[in-house]
Structure 1
Amino acid sequence: MRKDNKERIKTRILIILILISVIQIGIHWNMQTQGLPFHFISGIFATNGRAANLDVESLREQYFIPETIMVSISTSHWRLDDRDSQFKKIWGDVRDNYLPSIIKQKPDKVLPKEQWAEITGARCVRIDFDTLWPGDLIYWLAEAKPSDNKGFEGIKSIVITPQMDVNETINTVFIYDENQIYQYQVNIKNEFLVKRYYSNLADEISRKNKPTLRLLSSVSNFSSDKDIFVALNDGKGSAFSTVMAVIPKDIALNRANIENYSIQDNILLEQKESLSANYTDSSRYAMFTDTENLYRLYNDGILEYKYIPSTSSNQDDISAAFKHAVTFIEQRRHLMGDADIFLKSINKKESYYEMKFEYKLEGVSIYYNDIEGVEINSPLIIKANSDRILECRWVIRYISKFDKPTNYNVNFADLLNKQIVSAYPEILDSKDRFFKRIEPGYIFELSDSDSGLLAPSWIISTESKDYFIPLIRKGG
């Protein structure tokens, strides 16, 4: 018995010594790389809770979202965005019911893109995306089976035309991929919205005093390679809040946020213990690095990341690259406040995919103008392949509403004949009548990081320049 007790005591002492040794090694290593010993100990017993493990359904609901839904009768159009209850209802029906059905069947017809204007000129519900979503990415998000048909190459727009088939159990749907148009006859099952919901939607919205829109090319001599819609009768106007966009206080670049690990907790996450910090009070940025990873956080709120080793990995799995990108974002999304982050473009490069993301608040775009003020840029650019994130540049702002919404004048005739004439007459005098965008929204610059109050403006982009004209309050 005594011998057994002695063995137990020895075992316990040995375990305690091993634990003490591990802690001492960790403290020694941590002091060399980070300068503070205590965070290592607390890190053993706690996590930051932000190790996002995103499933496909979460990604689909968070990122696969249209820019707008347009309800049309002939030349009259009404825009829905995610502030409208109909937007969520329609998109939920299309995403969860129509697309899974379409993926399983062959298109009834494949039409030339020249017929797009004719199709969208009928009574229809049109769903437009900010970018052309590649087919392989959509099939992955829809969790398509290998046996599914997968007939389209991508989606830029979807159109539902309820009056093209008199059968109440069938809706005609068109998918546009910027090269051709795919036509489908979709059987309306029990879980679908009834067909008359789509048939009656234009009449319902037209009675709500919502601004009626026209195609820009039909009411002016301006042109565009995309459909730009403008309001000629804006009714009571459109409601916008003043928006606050500031550098999150938890990652403001100062010694206190580094010494109390606030920056490391919010930016480096689970890598915080393995990266060495380099920062001086006179520096514009803090650098965190090891043999593979390099993070730079600048005093203007820009985060840069680079994977240091050279890589020749195959980048062909677009779904894996996309998941790496949005996981990186979601782990740090809390820094963005109430902003929505959406995919603006995705381009295949030689050994990676470049994905550009932009911001919205309650359906309204928040654009970023770089420090030179030359043109609008994407505030979040990620390069990723099938294996990992390779590079990231992220202009981080905590975005939230500052006050209650106020109605503003969005009448295109007033913009053209009053505001543009007085503020930027060169727009009308120029031979450059090709426009990339004319829309209400917000704009922020790096120099706005301290005050950060953004009022709604007209965002006007030609081929050569961007113009920002403040919206006028209704009745103001």
Structure 2
Amino acid sequence: MKWFGRERVKLYILFLLVITSFIQVGILWYYQNRGVPTNFLWGFFNKSQAETEYDIGDAFKPYRVVVSEGFENPHWVIKENHEYYKPLWNDAQAYIKYLLTDRGVVSKGEYGKEFWGDVVLRKSFIFEFKTCINSELLAAFLNERWVSGFKSEGIYKMAILPSENINKNLTIYVFDGDKVNKYVVPFVTKGLSIDDYDDIIANLYEDDIEGYSVIKEYVTNYVYQYLSPDVLIVAQGRKYRNYKNLVCNVPELIRNIQQPNSSQDLNDIARIILGEDEDDYIRSIDVYNKTVVFQNLSNMYRIYRDGLLEYKYLHGINSYEKGSKVEALKIALEFINRREKLVSGVDVYLSGIEEHSNYYTFSFDYKFNDMEVSFNEYTVNNKDKNKLNHAITVDVNSQRILSCYWALKEFKLGKENLMLNVKFESLFDDIFNLYQDISIKDFSVKDINMTYEVKFSTDSQSLEPVWIVETMEGKRYVVPMQKKPPEEG
């Protein structure tokens, strides 16, 4: 019995040593990767509560929805708060599921990219994204599988034509940037009917919504390499339209850090930026540019006085951690979602996707009341003076965020009434006068947008709408809009 008791004691001691070793290894790993070791066990037992699951389908929205009865009829932009936006977008998502699964597709066809110019001159309901969303991401956004029957590389723009097919099916054209694929499918159950689509167009004629034309209607000899046929322009009707200014501020919490007795504001920002890990970080103020710094052994956050948040992962990365676009995008969206309290007044949308050897880059931008808020060569106030072209730029793999630049701003509608010239010919006169180095012969137009442009500033800004002309090569030209002279009344 004594022998048995001694063996039991040895067993308990061995078991205790194993558990202690496990805890020590865990503490060491946590310290090397996160910071203070005392939170290891707390984080272990509370992991399920700390992690928040983000539904990436919430980020899947078109950049623009355009409705038209066809050639020489108005093209209306349907804003997200319009009564027709939700039923139209719900229908579009149902048809994307049809295409992904090859379910119920009656027939298919394929055309060159020039054919998109013919599609936009027809009676159509068009859904545009700022970048091509590939099939893998589409399936993840819609929680759907996809099969090889979906021939497109993805969806850059999609047109629904409810009344083109003589057999009373619905026609869909998908433009992926290189080619146009045609699909004929049955109408979705409980979706919009042909009559419903006709009623929407009829009602839009009665609504007080400003209409546009597409450039293909006015440029008969266009060459696709130099001109996108679906660029929205104002060629007829009123020369001036009314707009408000937009007031842009650095978030109040960040402004207050520069004031005396701002420790509570610093704590509040740390809680939003760092979450439950805030105690793991050393806090400091960079006296050179008054930048707030949160840092541990693996991560560094900088918050600049103009509201720019910079994040860097301080270790190397492995190629096997790259993973899929879906895994990487989910991590990027979770990162943004947990810190969105520091941005107010605007919506965030996905505007760009780039794939690299070891990671992905996702860019996001802001919209205010469906008008783009742009960052064009926005200066980072560091020694490198980086230039940013998006509100948020995230480098990420399937395991973690690698780096991020995020312009944290607050927006609200101003009180100024601005009567601005929206005519197409005025814009082009101005762009060639302003940028005299442009060669008319080689000049291309991928898109034209009216936007609010944010400049670097630590103070409040009053933003007025400007034109941004984007070329096929990705270059952007900013052109101030002409104001209505007082003598014109």
TM exceeds 0.5?
Answer: yes
What's the secondary structure of 2:321's corresponding residue? Answer: coil
1:53–1:473 CA distance, 2 compared to 1 (3 A) = farther
Q: State the partner residue of 2:271.
A: 265
Report the Cα distance in structure 2 between the residues aligned to 1:139 and 1:280, rounded to whole angstroms: 45
1:232–1:206 CA distance, 2 compared to 1 (3 A) = farther
Tell me how far 1:280 sits from its aligned partner: 4.8
Q: State the partner residue of 2:455.
A: 445
Counterpart residue type for residue 392 of structure 2: L
Partners of 1:212 and 1:233 within 8 A in 2: no
1:332–1:240 CA distance, 2 compared to 1 (3 A) = farther
Q: State the partner residue of 2:337.
A: 330
**Deviation readout 1:415-444 (Å, 9 max, x if unpaired):** 446x568x6373888545323443221101
What's the secondary structure of 2:279's corresponding residue? Answer: coil
Partners of 2:213 and 2:235 within 8 A in 1: yes
Partners of 1:161 and 1:172 within 8 A in 2: yes
Query: Does 2:404 match 1:388?
Result: no
What's the secondary structure of 2:302's corresponding residue? Answer: strand
Q: State the partner residue of 1:233.
A: 236
* Larger deviation, residues 406-415 vs 116-125: 406-415
* Larger deviation, residues 291-300 vs 197-206: 197-206
**Deviation readout 1:32-89 (Å, 9 max, x if unpaired):** x99xxxxx9xx99xx9xx9783443xx3233433333242412443322324332333
Partners of 2:254 and 2:305 within 8 A in 1: no
1:372–1:325 CA distance, 2 compared to 1 (3 A) = closer
Counterpart residue type for residue 330 of structure 1: N
Q: How many residues align?
A: 427
Tell me how far 1:385 sits from its aligned partner: 0.9
Q: State the partner residue of 2:464.
A: 455
Tell me how far 1:218 sits from its aligned partner: 4.7
Q: State the partner residue of 2:4.
A: none
* Larger deviation, residues 367-376 vs 98-107: 367-376
Q: State the partner residue of 2:422.
A: 410
**Deviation readout 1:271-315 (Å, 9 max, x if unpaired):** 211011121555431221111111111122111111112111332
Counterpart residue type for residue 372 of structure 2: S
Counterpart residue type for residue 92 of structure 1: N
Q: State the partner residue of 1:308.
A: 314
Q: 1:93 is matched with which residue: 73, 91, 94? A: 91
Partners of 1:314 and 1:351 within 8 A in 2: yes
Q: State the partner residue of 1:468.
A: 479
What's the secondary structure of 1:403's corresponding residue? Answer: strand
Report the Cα distance in structure 1 between the residues aligned to 2:193 and 2:418, rounded to whole angstroms: 35
1:291–1:285 CA distance, 2 compared to 1 (3 A) = same
* Larger deviation, residues 298-307 vs 208-217: 208-217
**Deviation readout 1:9-35 (Å, 9 max, x if unpaired):** xxxxxxxxxxxxxxxxxxxx9xxx99x
Output aligned runs, 1:216-227, within 5 Å.
Answer: 216=215, 218-219=217-218, 223-225=226-228, 227=230
What's the secondary structure of 2:163's corresponding residue? Answer: helix
Q: State the partner residue of 2:123.
A: 123
Q: State the partner residue of 1:5.
A: none
Q: State the partner residue of 1:13.
A: none
Report the Cα distance in structure 2 between the residues aligned to 1:257 and 1:284, rounded to whole angstroms: 14
* Structure 1 gaps, min length 5: 1-28, 35-39
What's the secondary structure of 2:52's corresponding residue? Answer: coil
Partners of 1:366 and 1:444 within 8 A in 2: yes
What's the secondary structure of 1:178's corresponding residue? Answer: coil
TM-score w.r.t. structure 1 length?
0.79
Q: State the partner residue of 1:7.
A: none
Q: State the partner residue of 1:162.
A: 162
Partners of 2:282 and 2:296 within 8 A in 1: yes
Partners of 2:379 and 2:388 within 8 A in 1: no
**Deviation readout 1:423-468 (Å, 9 max, x if unpaired):** 6373888545323443221101112x31221122223345666223
Output aligned runs, 1:153-232, within 5 Å.
Answer: 153-168=153-168, 170-208=169-207, 210-216=209-215, 218-219=217-218, 223-225=226-228, 227-232=230-235
1:164–1:259 CA distance, 2 compared to 1 (3 A) = closer
1:52–1:240 CA distance, 2 compared to 1 (3 A) = farther
1:280–1:380 CA distance, 2 compared to 1 (3 A) = closer
* Larger deviation, residues 329-338 vs 108-117: 108-117
What's the secondary structure of 1:402's corresponding residue? Answer: strand
Report the Cα distance in structure 2 between the residues aligned to 1:105 and 1:248, rounded to whole angstroms: 47
Report the Cα distance in structure 2 between the residues aligned to 1:191 and 1:472, rounded to whole angstroms: 47
Tell me how far 1:270 sits from its aligned partner: 1.9
Partners of 1:443 and 1:454 within 8 A in 2: yes
**Deviation readout 1:355-401 (Å, 9 max, x if unpaired):** 01111111000111334699871121001111111110111111222
1:63–1:258 CA distance, 2 compared to 1 (3 A) = farther
Tell me how far 1:140 sits from its aligned partner: 1.0
Partners of 2:313 and 2:402 within 8 A in 1: yes
Tell me how far 1:346 sits from its aligned partner: 0.6
Report the Cα distance in structure 2 between the residues aligned to 1:315 and 1:428, rounded to whole angstroms: 40
Query: Does 2:136 match 1:136?
Result: yes
Q: How many percent identity over aligned positions? A: 21
Report the Cα distance in structure 1 between the residues aligned to 2:150 and 2:88, rounded to whole angstroms: 22
1:386–1:83 CA distance, 2 compared to 1 (3 A) = same
Q: State the partner residue of 1:362.
A: 369
Report the Cα distance in structure 2 between the residues aligned to 1:287 and 1:202, rounded to whole angstroms: 54
Q: State the partner residue of 1:11.
A: none
Counterpart residue type for residue 163 of structure 1: S
Query: Does 2:296 match 1:287?
Result: no
Partners of 1:63 and 1:341 within 8 A in 2: no
Q: Give the alignment's Cα RMSD to 1 decimal.
A: 3.5
Q: 1:64 is matched with which residue: 58, 61, 76? A: 61
TM-score w.r.t. structure 2 length?
0.77
Tell me how far 1:214 sits from its aligned partner: 2.7
Partners of 1:236 and 1:407 within 8 A in 2: no
* Larger deviation, residues 292-301 vs 132-141: 292-301
